[in-house]
């Protein structure tokens, strides 16, 4: 399965969608989502995932997901914790941007 997710995206027309066409991207990604998510795990740290997500173009709803799966399993867990954490936690105010990123895996 892990060797077929790119082909699935190609076959579904994902790479042919016009830039910013979220409807096209959504429809083309849907049949491949399970394959993509089951197979993608990279070597990025939680901070690396945070950096990647922070520069995603606003017109691409799947960029954050692809960034997420560039992280290790520990990085994905840390990023999820951080994303779910309220602005204030028992450790104080997490803030935004760099301050929040520095808390990856510590929330």
Read off the pTM: 0.53
Q: How far is CA 57 from CA 42, 104, 106, in A?
A: 21, 22, 27
List of residues 6+ apart from 78 with CB closer than 8 A: 46, 104, 105, 106, 107
65: left (phi over 0), alpha (psi -120 to 50) or beta: alpha
pLDDT of 82-94, one tens digit each? Answer: 877 665 444 444 4
Interval 43-63: pLDDT, tens: 899 989 988 988 998 888 889
C-beta of residue 79 within 8 angstroms of C-beta of residue 49: yes
């Amino acid at each position: 399965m892990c060797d077929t997710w790119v082909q699935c995206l190609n076959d579904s027309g994902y790479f042919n969608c016009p830039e910013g066409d979220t409807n096209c991207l959504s429809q083309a990604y849907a049949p491949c989502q399970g394959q993509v998510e089951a197979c993608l795990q990279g070597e990025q740290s939680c901070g690396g995932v945070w950096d990647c997500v922070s520069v995603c173009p606003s017109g691409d709803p799947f960029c954050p997901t692809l960034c997420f799966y560039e992280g290790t399993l520990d990085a994905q867990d840390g990023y999820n914790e951080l994303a779910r954490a309220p602005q204030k936690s028992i450790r104080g105010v997490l803030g935004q941007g760099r301050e929040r990123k520095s808390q990856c895996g510590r929330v």
